Amino acid sequence: MGEVDIDGRSPMLGRVYLSYEVGSFPKNLIPPHIRRDENKEPKYTTQQECVMMRRQVRKSKGFDIDFTQFRSVFNYRPVNFDCKEYSLAPETTRGLLERLSRNSLKNYNKEWFTEYEFLNVVKANSYMCSGRMYFITFEVRDPYDNLPKLFQARVRYYYDVTDDYILCRPKPNQKVKCVGTSRKHKSWA
């Protein structure tokens, strides 16, 4: 199965840029869990961290970034499900991510004639653009074998205006246990 790339839009990612260099940002502005302690080793230069961040974003398409490797803060950030800055009341950030995931999965099921069932949001990253771009990893139940699988959705959220569903796919390279028997296929030559 492939991915749903709605309206043939480009899968290009937003450019990675530095928001705050080590020691240049207010301590209360950036939560410490998204970055490495300034005194921990190894200490990479800001330029080295930028290269590392770009590689992680490019390799994972924005979904799997290890933020604990960085002392600097970049425009790509993990989403804290319990904060209130990402959604408009009365919706919570967790509720927003669930809604965006469910709608992405609904589009995927419709496009690929599948019946995956949404279970829960696992994690999300985002960056600010014209709105906010979300890279959401969520869990679904596969009706074929009743096992949980990971999916990924990329959605541009315009707060009170519209949601732009760009991509939904099974997470690449996930290890999934196969259920059933193996069959040899005959050659029809």
pLDDT digits (tens, 9 = 90+) for 17-45: 888 887 777 766 665 556 666 777 788 89
Rounded Cα–Cα distance for residues 59 and 188 (Å) = 40
* Rounded percentage of the chain residues whose pLDDT exceeds 70: 78
Q: How confident is the model at residue 10 (pLDDT cuts 50, 70, 90)?
A: very low
Q: How confident is the model at residue 2 (pLDDT cuts 50, 70, 90)?
A: very low
Other C-beta atoms lying within 10 Å of the C-beta of residue 25: 14
- Do the strands 131-141 and 117-129 form a parallel or antiparallel pair, or are they unpaired? antiparallel
Radius of gyration, CA atoms only, the chain? 19
Rounded Cα–Cα distance for residues 184 and 37 (Å) = 55
Of 81-85, 107-111, 162-166, 178-182, which gets the smallest average pLDDT? 178-182
- pLDDT tens-digit readout, 97-132: 999 999 999 999 999 999 999 999 999 999 988 889
Who has greater pLDDT, 87 or 172? 172
Residue 94 has pLDDT above 90, yes or no: yes
Residue 186 has pLDDT above 50, yes or no: no
153 residue type, one letter:
A
152 residue type, one letter:
Q
pTM: 0.83
Q: Are 149 and 1 in contact (CB under 8 A)?
A: no
